[in-house]
Amino acid sequence: MASTLSVALTIIVQAAMISALYALIAIGFTLIFGVGGVLNLAHGATITMGAFSAYYAGQLGLGLPGAVLASVAVPAIFAGLLYLGMVKRLEEEPIMVMITTLVVSVVIEQAIVVFEGTTSRSIPQLIEGQFSLAGATFQNLLGVMFVVSWIIIGLLFLFVNYTKTGKGILAVSMSHKGASLVGIQSSRINLITWIIAGAFAGIAGLFLGSWLTADFAMGQAQLVLSFSIVVVGGIGSIRGSVVGAYLIGFLEIATTNLISSSLQGLAPLVVLVVVLLVKPEGLFGREFAE
């Protein structure tokens, strides 16, 4: 009985920490759709870019502060340039945006293969050591990941609901034409949204690379995860992304701990198929923020 309780508590704590990062990953993906109505298939590659930005900062001797700054700044700038250089011209053609961002994703991955090969790379550790909770031991990194992810999610909610720019994001997500009528520039709001999403992806890449390792294909699984989460929660819904992340995160951790670690990537796909069959609009429909 005690052993069963310990396993259950371990699963709950581990899933709660990892799902917070999943939520951060998915929010960046759904934010772009919620505002611009397009899917950014380069989101996974942007996560990879965040991890390798931290890796190169470490190689240049910039230390942990430099690695953190690079992992946020480089993907954010990249996402902004991607919007200005390509996506902005194709906003009225969502399919073309998907194709374009997919091509960009492949280019980024192949560039990493050319320069770094297929070998995984270690990036600077954010924090070392372990802590005990509920009779189990966890990496301090997971605890930091949980806290930082929720701080960022909380700040995003405050930004969206209580600042002028945030209310502009809400307005554009509801109606581009309506926002234009009250003097809100949709292109400016879209640019801000892409930059925020890029920064979120970079932070996720930093944590994933520090927790595991960085490799050219690490973003592929995260893109599938993001898509699964936002479909489950409702495409365009920030709240839905958080709920979807925890639903999939808990199912994934329970599956890997109780059945087999080889089934880790199966949980998001199973939930995705079930939701598409039962409730195609997702748990929270097409809402953006409340």
Is 81 a domain residue?
yes
Please say which residue of 216, 235, 269 terminates a domain.
Answer: 216
Question: How far, in Å, CA of 201 to CA of 71, rounded?
Answer: 9
Within 8 A by CB and 6+ apart from 191, the residues are 80, 83, 84, 88
Our count of domains for the chain comes to 2
Same-domain check for residues 144 and 276: no
Please say which residue of 216, 249, 269 terminates a domain.
Answer: 216
Q: What is the pLDDT of residues 196-231, one digit of tens each?
A: 999 999 999 999 999 989 999 999 989 988 888 888
Same-domain check for residues 203 and 83: yes
Same-domain check for residues 67 and 128: yes
Residue 93 has pLDDT above 70, yes or no: yes
In the structure, what pLDDT confidence band is assigned to residue 134 with cuts at 50, 70 and 90? low
Q: What is the pLDDT of residues 228-242, one digit of tens each?
A: 888 888 877 888 889
In the structure, what pLDDT confidence band is assigned to residue 285 with cuts at 50, 70 and 90? low
- Structure confidence at residue 116 (pLDDT): 92
Same-domain check for residues 157 and 229: no
In the structure, what pLDDT confidence band is assigned to residue 109 with cuts at 50, 70 and 90? very high
Residue 261 has pLDDT above 90, yes or no: no
pTM: 0.91
Is 192 a domain residue?
yes
Which range scores top for mean pLDDT: 23-37, 39-53, 115-129? Answer: 39-53
**Three-state DSSP class for 133?**
strand
Query: What is the DSSP code string of 216-231?
Result: TTHHHHHHHHHHHHHH
Within 8 A by CB and 6+ apart from 185, the residues are none
Same-domain check for residues 224 and 208: no
Same-domain check for residues 73 and 89: yes
Is 54 a domain residue?
yes
Same-domain check for residues 177 and 274: no
In which domain, by residue range, is 260 found? 220-290
Same-domain check for residues 161 and 32: yes
